[in-house]
Structure 1
Amino acid sequence: MDANSTTYWQDIQILKQLKNSVDTHSVTSGSCIYSWDFTLDPCDYLFKDKFTCGFRCDVVVDGFSRLTELALDSANYSGSLSNVSWNLPYLQNFDVSNNFFNGSVPESFSQLTRLQRLGLSSNSLSGSLPDSLGSLSNLEEMYLDNNKLEGTIPLSFNGLKNLKRLELQGNGLSGDFPELTQLSNLNFLDASDNAVSGNLPANFPASLIELSMRNNQIEGNIPSSVINCAYLQVMDLSHNRLSGSVPPSLFTHPSLQQLTLSYNQYDSVPVPGNSGLTSELISVDLSNNNIHGFLPGFMGLMPKLSALSLENNKFSGMIPIQFALKVLAVGSGSNSGLAQFERLLLGGNYLLGPIPGPFLELELGSVKVQLGNNCLYRCPVRWFFCEGGAQKSLMECRAFGPIIP
C-alpha cells in the first residue's frame, strides 16, 4: 500500500481561492503565498522550496490529507476574506493576524466546525460580527482585536461552549455588552477600547480569571454578582463612566489581585465588612475619580497590597498613620504577613496637616511616593515624595474646605 497521501481536492480549491483573493501587490517574493505552486501537491512539499509555510496537512481520510492549520502571520497581505468559500471541515487553527485583510468577517466561517483557534487580529476588517460565529462550538480562542468592527456583540456567542479566550479590543463595537454566562470555560475576556455602553451585564462567566473593558462608555456600577467569579484575578474597568460607591465586595474578593477603576466617576470608598484584612489585592488604582472623604485607612492594613494610586480625587484630611507605617515597612515583612507599600500615589487631592514622620526616613529610590498638589503643611519639593507638583495655594485649599487652616 502506498504510504504517501495527497491533499484533498476541495482544500486545494480553497487555497487557490485565498491566493486569488489577495491583492497581488501585497504578495512579495519569498512570502508564504508566493511559494504556493499548485502544479505540485501541497502536502508533499511542506518542507521543500514550495509551500514552505502557511499551512499544515496532517489528517488523512481515505488516503487524502486534510488541511488542519492555516496561518499567514505578519506578512502584510491585503484583500478580502469574504471572497473565499471556507469549507474546510478539518481545519483546527486559522490565523491571518497582523495583515491588511479588509471587508467583513465571512459568514462561511461557520463551516469551520472543528476550528479551535481563530486569529483575525490587527487587520482592517469592518462591518458587524456575524451571529454564525456562535456556532463554532469547538472554538477555544478567538482573536478579533484591533480591526474596524462595528455593531453589537452577538448574544449567539453563548454557543461557544469551549471558548477560553475572547479578545475584542481595539474596534468600534457598541451597545450593551451581552450576558455570556453560558461560556463556562471562559478565562480571559478583553473588550477594551470600543464604544460599549449601558450597564455591565448582571452576571459574568464564573470561570473568568481576567476581565478588561477599559476605555468604553459603560455606566452604572459593578454588579454584586462579581463575587461569584471565584477565580477572578485581574479587573480593569478604567476610563468608563462608572459611578456611586466602589463596591466593598471587591476588597474581600477571594482571588482578585489587580483592581483598576481609574478615570471613572466614583464618589466614595466604603469600608468593607472585615476591613479588607483577608484581601488578596496587590494593586489598586482608583485615581482620577471624584472620591470625597478621608483616605481609606483600611487599605494600609490590607496584607498583600503593595501598589495604591488615589491621585486626582477629592480626598481630604490627614494621611493615615497606617499608610506611613506600611511605606516604611514597619511591622511588615515575611514574619508579619503585611506587604510594604512600594508605590503610594496620593497627589492631586486636598490632604492637609504635616508630613507623617516615617516618610522623613525614606531614602530616594527605596519606594515611589507622590504627595504633590495637596494642602500639606511644608512639603518642599526637595523631598522626593513631594515632587510632582507644588502644594495647592492656601486660597484654593480654604475654598475646598473650611477646616483647612
Structure 2
Amino acid sequence: MASFFLLLIVFMVLCFHGHSITHWEDVQALKQFINGVHSDSMAPGSCLASWDFSVDPCDSLSGDKFTCGIRCDVVISGVTRVTELTLDQAGYTGSLASSWNLPYLQTLDLTNNYFTGSIPGSFSRLTRLQRLSLSSNSLNGSIPDSVGAFPDSLEELLLDNNNLQGPIPPTFNSLTSLKRLELQGNRLSGEFPELSQLSNLYFLDASNNAISGELPSTYPGNLIELTVRNNSLQGNIPASLLNNSVYLQVLDLSYNNLTGTLQPELFTHPSLEQLVLAYNRFRWVQVPGNWGRNSELIAVDLSNNDIHGFLPGFLGWMPKLSALSLENNKFSGMIPTQYALKAVTASPAGVAPFERLLLGGNYLFGLIPGPFLQLKSGSGVTIRLGDNCLYECPQSFYFCGGGVQKSLVECKTFSPVIP
C-alpha cells in the first residue's frame, strides 16, 4: 500500500511539472542568469533568444528552443541537472547573477561578452565546477578573497582581459586542483603573491597589469609556462624559480624593471626552451660553467636592456638555440666566429643553426665575420647588424641594413679601444 501511494505522489508531481525533466533549481538559476542580460543584446536568432521556459530546457535542446548554451549530462532519479553553460563570443551585455545555484555545473564559459560588475562570490556554490572562463568581458572591482572558497574541483580559472583592479589575493592558494590561471590584461596591482600551494598549476599568465615589487621566492613545482610581461616588477629573478620549477619551458618577464646579473641557471635549466627578458634593465650576463652545451633553449630575447661586456660566446654553442636577439644593449667587442658559423654552416645532427640573429644597436666593432659574406638576401636567415661600430658594413649587405653604423666619435667615446 505504501508503495502505491509513493508511485501516486511521483505521478502527480510529474503531471504538475508538465513532464519536466530538468531540476527546478536549475531552471530557476537559468532564469536568474538571463534576467541579468540586457534584452537589447539578445538579437533575434541568438542563443539566449531561443531560451523559452514554457518548455523544459534539458528536454528541448534538439528543437528550436534552447538551441545552444547549455548541456545536461547528469540524471539523478529521473531528474536532469545542467552541467555546462557556454556563451562564448555571443556579445551579450548585462551583469552576472549574484546568486549561482547550479550545483552540478562543470563548465561555465562566458568568454568574449560585455558583462559588467564584480565577480560573484556565489561561484563557490558551484561545487563541481572544473572550468570557469570570464575572459574578455568588462568585469570590474577587485578579485574577491572568496575566490579561495571556489570549489576544490576547479582546474581552469580565466579572468583575463577585463577591468579588474587591486591585488591578486593569496587565497588562490586554496584552489589546489588549479592547473591554468589567466589574469592578463587587467589593472591588477600590488606585489605578486606566493602561490606555492598550487602544486598542479602548469600555466600562469599575469601579463599587462600594474604588478609591482619583487618576484616571490617560491613557485608551484609543476609550472610549465610563467608569463608576467609588461608590469612593474623590480629586483632580479630569484634562483628558487629556476631551481624549483624543473618543468618550466617558457619564461617571459619582458617589459618590466628587472635589474642585476643574468645568472647562469637561466642557460642551463633542464627544460627551459623560451627565455624572454627584453625591455628590462639587466646589466651583465654570467657565463655558465658548461657553456650551455646541454641547454634546451630554442629562443632567447635579451634585447633592450643595459647589458655590457662582450657578446656571450657560449650562446653560439647552444645546440638547440635558433633565435637570438641581443639588440639595443651596450655590448662591445667583435662578433664571435661561432655566431657566424652557426648562422651559415650546415650543422651536425641535433644542432640547430641560427634562423634569427639580431645584434643591432650595440657597440660591436671590427670586421664582419667572413662566413656572413656567404649569405644572400632570401637565404632564410634573418640577421641584423645595423647601428653598431663595425668596419665596412654598408647597407648594401642585407644583414647590415636596418640602420647605418654609429659615428666613429660615438664609438670611441663608448669604447676607447676601437682602432
Partner of 1:44: 59
**2:412 aligned to 375, 389, 398, which one?**
398
Superposition pairs of residues 79-98 of structure 1, within 5 angstroms: 79-81=94-96, 83-98=97-112
Is this contact kept in 2: 1:301–1:338, CA < 8 A? Answer: no
Is this contact kept in 2: 1:329–1:339, CA < 8 A? Answer: no
TM-superposed deviation, 1:272: 0.8
**1:296 aligned to 309, 312, 319, which one?**
312
TM-superposed deviation, 1:32: 1.2
Superposition pairs of residues 147-186 of structure 1, within 5 angstroms: 147-186=162-201
Partner of 1:232: 248
**2:357 aligned to 323, 330, 344, which one?**
344
Partner of 1:71: 86
**What do residues 251-305 of structure 1 show as CA deviations (whole Å, max 9, x unaligned)?**
0000000000000000010101111111000100000000000000011011111
Partner of 1:354: 367
Question: What letter is aligned with 2:274?
Answer: Q
- Name structure 1 gaps, 5 residues minimum: none
The answer to whether 1:363 aligns with 2:376 is yes
The answer to whether 1:122 aligns with 2:136 is yes
Question: What letter is aligned with 1:298?
Answer: F
**What do residues 43-94 of structure 1 show as CA deviations (whole Å, max 9, x unaligned)?**
110111000000011211232111110011111101111x341011111000
Partner of 1:102: 116
**2:282 aligned to 250, 266, 270, which one?**
266
- 1-structure distance, mates of 2:98, 2:55: 21
- 2-structure distance, mates of 1:355, 1:193: 39
- 2-structure distance, mates of 1:66, 1:378: 75
**What do residues 121-159 of structure 1 show as CA deviations (whole Å, max 9, x unaligned)?**
000000000122222210011110000000111111111
Q: TM-score if structure 1 supplies the norm length?
A: 0.97
SS of residue in 2 equivalent to 1:42: coil
SS of residue in 1 equivalent to 2:35: helix
TM-superposed deviation, 1:362: 1.1
Superposition pairs of residues 177-196 of structure 1, within 5 angstroms: 177-196=192-211
Is this contact kept in 2: 1:227–1:250, CA < 8 A? Answer: no
Partner of 1:137: 152
Is this contact kept in 2: 1:124–1:148, CA < 8 A? Answer: yes
Partner of 2:36: 21
- 2-structure distance, mates of 1:153, 1:62: 42
Is this contact kept in 2: 1:126–1:150, CA < 8 A? Answer: yes
- 1-structure distance, mates of 2:162, 2:26: 27
SS of residue in 2 equivalent to 1:395: helix
Is this contact kept in 2: 1:118–1:141, CA < 8 A? Answer: yes
SS of residue in 1 equivalent to 2:58: helix
Is this contact kept in 2: 1:244–1:267, CA < 8 A? Answer: yes
Is this contact kept in 2: 1:21–1:84, CA < 8 A? Answer: no
Is this contact kept in 2: 1:137–1:162, CA < 8 A? Answer: yes
SS of residue in 1 equivalent to 2:257: coil
Is this contact kept in 2: 1:5–1:60, CA < 8 A? Answer: no
**2:230 aligned to 212, 215, 222, which one?**
215
Is this contact kept in 2: 1:306–1:341, CA < 8 A? Answer: yes
SS of residue in 2 equivalent to 1:43: coil
Question: What letter is aligned with 1:274?
Answer: N
- 2-structure distance, mates of 1:5, 1:36: 15
- 1-structure distance, mates of 2:77, 2:145: 34
TM-superposed deviation, 1:218: 0.5
- 1-structure distance, mates of 2:324, 2:20: 61
Is this contact kept in 1: 2:20–2:56, CA < 8 A? Answer: no
SS of residue in 2 equivalent to 1:299: helix
**2:23 aligned to 8, 14, 37, which one?**
8
Moved over 3 A (4+): 1-5
Is this contact kept in 1: 2:90–2:112, CA < 8 A? Answer: yes
Q: How many residues end up aligned between the 2 structures?
A: 401
Partner of 1:306: 322
Question: What letter is aligned with 2:160?
Answer: D
Question: What letter is aligned with 2:276?
Answer: T
Partner of 1:203: 218
- 1-structure distance, mates of 2:95, 2:74: 27
TM-superposed deviation, 1:227: 2.2
- Per mean C-alpha deviation after superposition, the further-off stretch among 382-391 and 394-403 is 394-403
Aligned-residue sequence identity (percent) comes to: 65
Is this contact kept in 1: 2:110–2:133, CA < 8 A? Answer: yes
TM-superposed deviation, 1:365: 2.0
TM-superposed deviation, 1:5: 6.2
- 1-structure distance, mates of 2:288, 2:378: 33
- 2-structure distance, mates of 1:148, 1:214: 18
Question: What letter is aligned with 2:345?
Answer: A
Larger of the two Rg values belongs to structure: 2
Is this contact kept in 1: 2:394–2:400, CA < 8 A? Answer: yes
- 2-structure distance, mates of 1:85, 1:178: 29
**What do residues 9-36 of structure 1 show as CA deviations (whole Å, max 9, x unaligned)?**
1111111111111111111111111111
- 2-structure distance, mates of 1:306, 1:33: 49
